[in-house]
Amino acid sequence: MAIREIKKYPASVLKKKADPVTAFDEDLQMLIDDMVETMYAAPGVGLAAPQVGVSKRLAIIDISSREEQYPLIVLINPSILKSEGKIEFEEGCLSIPEYTAKVTRAEQVILGCTDREGNQIEIDADGLLAIAIQHEIDHLDGLLFIDRISPIKREFFKKRHKKIAKAEK
Tell me which of 122, 136, 155, 168 is the catalytic residue: 136
- Res 77: pLDDT: 98
- Give the helix ranges, DSSP H, for 42-148: 127-140
Residue 22 exposure: Cα atoms within 13 Å on the Cβ side: 4
Q: Residue 69 carries which side chain, given as an amino acid letter?
A: Q
Yes or no: say if 76 and 113 are a contact pair by the CB < 8 Å rule. yes
- Res 163: pLDDT: 87
Topology (CATH level 3) of domain 12-168: Peptide Deformylase (3.90.45)
Q: Is 136 a catalytic residue?
A: yes
- Res 1: pLDDT: 78
The low-confidence residues of the chain, meaning pLDDT below 70, are none
What are the residue boundaries of the structural domains of the chain, listed by start?
12-168
- Res 71: pLDDT: 85
- Res 169: pLDDT: 75
Kindly report, residue by residue over 23-52, the tens digit of the pLDDT: 999 999 999 999 999 999 999 999 999 999
- Res 65: pLDDT: 78
Q: Would you call 99 exposed, middle or buried from its count of C-beta atoms within 10 A (0-12, 13-18, 19+)?
A: middle
- Res 164: pLDDT: 82
Of 142, 167, 146, whose CA–CA distance to 158 is shortest? 146
